[in-house]
Amino acid sequence: MGFFFICLSAAAQDQGEENLILYASTLKKGLYKSFREFQFNSPSEEGDLVIKSRSTAAQIYLLASRNELVMRDRAGQEHKIKSYWGFCDGQHVYIKDNGLNEIHQAGYYCIYEIHGVQPSRSIYNQADMTVSTLNTPIHLKKVINIITGEILELSLYNLRKYILPQDPELLEEFSTDKDKKDKLEYYIFRFNQRNKPSLSSPQSGK
């Protein structure tokens, strides 16, 4: 499914409305060097960009992220890209945060999930007297504010403290919901439905 935003703001008129990713029917492929480039659907660098996955062993023993972005030159040589905000392949948007992670949710707050592995404990096999490591998958969901670029872990605390206070009625519903710990994404979805981002904020586009 294509990546686009359904929450629009009239304040975008003064910011180059036709270029905002909020309004984009198509995504421009390339490298975002800053949040602002992502916000305005305006990658500053193109080329043969490829996401390459790393093995589980590399993630554990080299303390590396699960993937990396490389650029291939005309000779087919691959060059690592280190300093950038994110990447678009023309269909999906990825943010750089412990590797590249696809942004899924559309609206005021967008959701992405960090994936990784880490060794948690060693297991001794008495049959052959060997020790093996039990690897534990890591999954951490975060949200990014499409106006300010602020990134928060998706948690009960951050919903209660920073996000939902902008919508007192929804905050009240959240506060009385006994099952809220299992409905974090649901409340992001509800917030996005009920609230339209305003680009008139002095903190926008940082």
Check: CB of residue 37 under 8 Å from CB of residue 44.
yes
Taking the alpha carbons of 122, 125, 131, 132 in that order, is the dihedral positive or negative?
Answer: negative
- Segment 84-104 shows an average pLDDT of 91
Specify the DSSP element, H or E, that contains 167: none
Domain ranges of the chain: 30-154
Confidence bin at 188 (pLDDT 50/70/90): very high
Q: Residue 177: count other Cβ atoms within 10 Å of its Cβ.
A: 13
The pTM (predicted TM-score) of the whole model is: 0.73
Compute and round to an integer the Cα radius of gyration of the chain: 20
The phi-psi region of residue 67 (left if phi > 0; otherwise alpha if psi is between -120 and 50; otherwise beta) is beta
Local structure of 26: helix, strand or coil: coil
% residues pLDDT > 70 (the chain): 67
pLDDT of residue 174: 98
Q: Which tokens hold the place of 166? A: 């902008």
Check: CB of residue 154 under 8 Å from CB of residue 188.
yes
Q: Is the pLDDT of residue 52 over 70?
A: yes
Check: CB of residue 64 under 8 Å from CB of residue 54.
yes
Q: Is the pLDDT of residue 93 over 90?
A: yes
Confidence bin at 127 (pLDDT 50/70/90): low
d(CA 96, CA 183): 26
Q: Is the pLDDT of residue 166 over 90?
A: yes
> In terms of C-beta density within 10 A (0-12 exposed, 13-18 middle, 19 or more buried), how is residue 109 classed?
buried
- Segment 52-73 shows an average pLDDT of 67
Q: Is the pLDDT of residue 144 over 90?
A: yes
Dmax over CA atoms of the chain, in Å, equals 71
